[in-house]
Structure 1
Amino acid sequence: MAHPIRRAVGAFVLDVLLVVLFAAIGRRSHDESGAAAGVLSTAGPFLAGLVLGWVVSLAVRRSAPVSVNSAVSVWFATVFFGMVLRVLTGRGIAVSFVIVASVVLAVFLLGWRWAAGFIARRLTS
């Protein structure tokens, strides 16, 4: 079994990479420049929401959000504060964008946790 700190760091890094992937896919689907700075600019508000979600989860639960149940708050914070920060920085949001971002980030941030839990249960049974 992986050391808890190593698991937490790995989960956080994977979450960050998936939020960046979300931004890159979004920029690509809208034929926007794929430059790293552009992707990071798009991902920035959502990365801030992700970090806030992790901090709150660690403070409230006193454990890393590595399971699906414990990561729902991280997903919610990523979407909610990502959207709020987009508005505050003058970037628009549309209802369709909120829906797509919510679904894609749920699949990304909760999906890998579900798959890892499923595989772990299979291996131990």
Structure 2
Amino acid sequence: MLGNKKSGQKAATINTMISAKTEAIGNISFQGGMRIDGKVHGNVTAADDKSILVLSSSATVEGTVDAPTVIVSGSINGNLIARKRVELHADAHVEGDVHYSSLAMDPGAVVNGNLYHEQDYLNKTGTVKNA
């Protein structure tokens, strides 16, 4: 999906990575591209409106995920806020609400929560009102 030449999107540059054997405890704020292969116990938040977060099939986040573009193949136990776009691949599992502006969901992806199209509810700072 991301980096698809037919869609005109550029491939993301990953600046930060949490490897499969790493477990991070605490909130994480990032800028640019971030890939998680390991576990995060805390919220993961992008510091700008151009950041991208990729969760591989081995990734687990126990907390809220908030970034402009989020690509999920792993698990999120918390709300997911994708201010621009969210891609839920076949291995994705979200235990929480998904707030999005644009959504792509592969067969097999699981969301145990509500889906909210937030284009009308995003405020000027890019955060979801009443989330």
Whether these two folds match at TM > 0.5 is no
Higher RCO (CA-CA < 8 Å; seq separation 6+): 1
Q: Which has the higher helix share?
A: 1
Q: Which has the higher strand share?
A: 2
Larger Rg: 1
TM-score, reference length from structure 1:
0.24
